[in-house]
Amino acid sequence: MALPRLVKVAGLLLLAGGFVLSSAPNASGVSPVVYQWGFNSGKTHLAPSLVAGLPSGIVDIQGANWGGMALDTSGNVWAWGRNEHFELGDGNRHNSPDTAIHVKGPTQVVSIGEGDDFGAAVDSNGNLWVWGWNSDRQLCLPGVSRAATPMEITGMNAKAVSGGGRHLLILLANGTVDACGLNSSGQLGNGTSQNSSSPVPVRGLSNVVAVSAGNMFSGALESDGSVWMWGYDKWGQLGIGSTSNMRTPQRVALPAPATQLYVGGDYPNDGHVLVHLNDDEVMAWGNNGNGQLGIGTVGGISSTPVPVAVPVGTTFSLVVAGGADSFAVDSAGKLWAWGGRVGAGDLGDGTRDGDIALPKAIGLGFSLVSSTANEAVGFATGPMLSGRHRHHRN
């Protein structure tokens, strides 16, 4: 039975893909389950809605622009949502918006990742599994347009994986990073702008403990708490004080070592990043068009890190950058949200409000959250929304 690999960075336990394992209490004794909110397969879930079909013992989750993914204690992968490009990995193209199905093939999986209409996983032997859309060779496979079921790439010695818009980051066991797929903005980090159908080394990185990929840009967290960014920089999402694309990793100047990195979004207008520091401060940079930086204003960009306005008396233990939205879980298991596109219903607060400039409490009992361009998922004992009913609307 293979569990996700954990690494310890400045006192926090991280899943190898970059997610923090929260120690939020569960006073009710209720087993946590997976919820989703946002847009999925033509349906908008305005508030957290239960994902059916999952076994007990879920240990990792991933939001996806097409739905979501989950990993169980036996190392099996589950997926739900749109299936136009075989994103669900079951060999057919039937959507399954609210019920998870078993992804065929991979076993003993230790890391899962999603991208723009594709999925990826790493098993306990270090092999890479990929499925879904391969428009720009983001599956690290030449000569195929789609993979209807997961295809195995052996001999990778991989540890974790993270999918971006149309590229894939692969954290290797030796602490270096490989990448494949679209490279128009230097998001593969190998010093060129040439796409690659096979994994190429990202330059200059060592002792990496987590990777995170967004739309046409990428990030890595090293064991000393340093954060490195590369690729597309239109919104200042590289955090280095410019808006110029970078083809190799650049170090972000932070006031303290980082313990968690989350690069947001899969879509062209997505471009912000959140980091959690070892002094519990949270920093953000990039696009603030919808208030997703959480600094009290809506609009503009920040090309350098700025502090998120964490509510007084609250300590965030996990931070998540979506597309135009952001989320956090505090030390008591309360879920917070900010940003959001007006009318999209992507915050999960039961409304279609957006442009929320400061963190807003929207649920209780959460221990893990993941988000991307238009869908978020959470692992919780049961969301409790003040004045709202849990529901979804077509």
190, with CB counted inside 10 A (0-12, 13-18, 19+), is buried
Tokens 């998120």 map to which residue? 308
* pLDDT at res. 30: 63
| Number of domains, the chain | 1
Tell me if 113 sits within 8 A of 119, measured CB to CB.
Answer: yes
Residue 390 lies in a domain: no
Tell me if 18 sits within 8 A of 212, measured CB to CB.
Answer: yes
Whole-number Å distance between alpha carbons of 254 and 329: 22
Residue 53 lies in a domain: yes
CA 277 to the chain's CA centroid: 18
Phi, psi of 118 (to 5 degrees): -150, 160
Residue 386 lies in a domain: no
Tokens coding 177: 């990073």
Strands 272-277 and 282-287: antiparallel
* pLDDT at res. 265: 85
Residue 394 lies in a domain: no
Residue 328 lies in a domain: yes
| 296 CB neighbour count, 10 Å cutoff | 11
DSSP tally for the chain: helices H, then strands E: 0, 30
CA 219 to the chain's CA centroid: 12
The domain in which residue 239 lies consists of 6-380
Whole-number Å distance between alpha carbons of 114 and 325: 18
CA 195 to the chain's CA centroid: 23
CA 335 to the chain's CA centroid: 16
Residue 392 lies in a domain: no
Residue 391 lies in a domain: no
| DSSP one-letter code for 52 | B
Whole-number Å distance between alpha carbons of 288 and 273: 10
Residue 108 lies in a domain: yes
Across the 394 residues of the chain, what is the mean pLDDT of every consecutive 10-residue run?
29 35 42 91 91 95 95 97 96 95 96 96 98 97 96 97 96 98 98 98 98 97 98 97 98 98 88 97 97 98 98 97 97 96 93 96 94 93 53 35
150: CATH: 2.130.10.30
Whole-structure pTM over 0.85, yes or no? yes
* pLDDT at res. 19: 35
